[in-house]
Structure 1
Amino acid sequence: MKRTYKDITYTLKQSKRKTLSIYIEADSSVSVLAPESKTISDIEKVIENKRYWVYKELAEKEMLNAARIKRDFVNGQGFLYLGKSYRLSIVDTQDVPLKLLNGYFCLRQNDVETAEKSFIDFYRQKGMKKFAARMRYYQEMLGVRPAGVRVLDLKTRWASCSEDKMLNFHWKTMMAPMKIIDYVVVHELVHLIYPNHTDAFWNEVDKILPDYTERKEWLKENGVSLDI
């Protein structure tokens, strides 16, 4: 449900959660997650208290979004995979629409018009294996058991943890370096222990990734470049 408080338009979602959180999404929209017990008046008092923080975050997002990269599906264009850029090569024939071969993303000529779908399918297929492997590695350290993994289009989120303990990852995350993927995986696994971003949550992340603040900042600054 969309609402407006003064000059801040936000999307409100209320559930059985215990705390209220405000998120500035990648597309500069504002999301508020609040307990069902909170009235609109209660919610907007919190927004008022954090109003200047919201302004600061929105200004930063606007600046970063201005640097968004537009990629064309032409020979020589670079596309990211696991933090590295590979040039695109349009080929006459091959057994699949898109493959990574000899340092190039090879796109079948007949599939240029559906190239975006071919890249998304590639990232989702690779992501299922990569995220599952990293989850198995870190879940042992944390003593958690996620129900499974899904690779989806999460719009403005890099990942999410469902109430059924499924971990969901945006296919765009597969463009990031492995250390950033590991940060996203650990972040969601810790949500199985601490649903909210409390001090206890970040302390748990810190135990596994002592440099998590650097990884978090990298994603904040470079996330807009992870796109096709």
Structure 2
Amino acid sequence: MPNLPLSPIRTGGRSVRFFDQHLDVDGLSFNIRRSDRRKTLQITVERSGELVILAPPEATESELVEFVQEKLLWVHTKLEEKARLQRRAPVKEFVDGEGFLYLGKSYRLRLVDRQLVDLTLKNGRFCLRTASVHRGREVFISWYIRKAQAWFEKQTLQHSNRMDVNINEVKVQDLGFRWGSFGSEGRVSFHWKAALLPPRIAQYIIIHELAHAHHPDHSAKFWIKVEQHLPDWRARKEWLAENGMQVEGL
């Protein structure tokens, strides 16, 4: 169903349009996600750059507009930061000496003519078969998924026991612009790119997702649960926000 404007309005000299699905303010488009669990308004800037308003069902048009206008400076600042960080992530060329991350460390690439498998990590270097360079990205992603699957299964089990969370499945895959996801029936997923992050940051993602087993939203109770198991979560969250984009260039 297309988004149909309910009522165009002007306030504070800015053009504002309210839609049943999203809100346009000052040239920015905000998707609206309402939840019975929410009691307050919140704006998030997703890794994709998507702007989202998290709102309780009863939030009115005027309340949403006023809240967005109060946060416009913060939103523009966050968008500029993300654009700057994205420019720092060059696309890989899969040439000798190029650096590739794994668990926070950078390993130089060596192209080899004779190797039984497409890619290995040995003696502090990634070794990529020359004949596989043309599909280097596919080869690296496959390698990361295999390695990350075992790592995240082990880490998730350890943390889930401490956090009293029953886990039935751990899956590593491409989650688009999300680092992780906690689903129904104890299913937790992680983006394969999380395997490129330092372990302490990947652990923050694990605890973040496991905390959603107790609190589905990002309420105060949710962050209290995170802090119970990771007292320095703020520093790790900030590091991820500032540096996470660097792994986008593969």
TM-score normalised by length of structure 1 = 0.89
Partner of 1:8: 28
Provide the rounded CA distance (Å) in 2 between the counterparts of 1:223 and 1:82.
13
How has the CA–CA distance of structure 1 residues 111 and 34 changed in structure 2, closer, same or farther, with 3 Å as cutoff? Answer: farther
Moved more, 145-154 or 107-116: 145-154
Residue in structure 1 matching 2:227, options 194, 203, 206: 206
Q: CA deviation digits over 1:199-224, x for unaligned, max 9? A: 22112111111111111111111111
Counterpart amino acid of 1:18?
R
Instruction: For residue 167 of structure 2, give the secondary structure of its aligned residue in structure 1.
Output: coil
Could you say what secondary structure the match of 1:226 adopts? helix
> Quick one: structure 1 residues 26 and 48, their matched pair in 2 at CA, closer, same or farther if it must change by over 3 Å?
same
Could you tell me how far 1:178 is from its partner in structure 2? 0.7
* Deviation (angstroms), 1:63: 2.4
Q: Distance in 2 between matches of 1:103 and 1:78?
A: 11
Which of the numbers 18, 21, 24 marks the counterpart of 2:38? Answer: 18
2:48 to 19, 27, 35: 27
1:59 aligns with 2:80: yes
Separation (CA, whole Å) in 1 of partners of 2:130 and 2:91: 21
Q: Does residue 168 in structure 1 map to residue 189 in structure 2?
A: yes
| 1:70-104 deviation line (CA, Å, top 9, x unaligned) | 32200110100001111111111322211112211
Matches within 5 A, 1:19-168: 21-34=42-55, 43-168=64-189
Distance across 2 between alignment mates of 1:223 and 1:72: 20
* 1:145 Cα deviation from its structure 2 partner: 1.1
The gaps in structure 2 that reach 5 residues or longer are 1-20
Which AA in structure 1 matches 2:180? A
Name the CA shift for 1:17/1:93 in 2 (closer, same or farther; >3 Å): farther
> Equivalents in 2 of 1:133, 1:163: separation in Å?
20
Change (3 A) 1:154 1:35: farther
Alpha-carbon separation, structure 1, partners of 2:206 and 2:168: 14
Verify the 8 A CA contact 2:172 2:191 in the aligned structure 1.
Answer: yes
User: How many residue pairs get matched?
Assistant: 228
Quickly say closer, same or farther: Cα 1:43–1:160, change in 2 above 3 A: farther
1:191 partnered with 2:206: no
Q: Encode CA deviations 1:156-199: one digit per residue, 9 max, x unaligned.
A: 22112224442121111100111111111001000111111122
- Aligned partners of 1:161 and 1:45: how far apart in 2? 32
- Call closer, same or farther: CA 1:91–1:55 in 2, change over 3 Å: same
Amino acid in the other structure paired with 2:24? T
**Paired residues of 1:17 and 1:34 also in contact (CA < 8 A):** no
Secondary structure of the 1:197 match is coil
Any gaps of 5 or more consecutive residues in structure 1?
Answer: none
TM-score by length of 2: 0.82
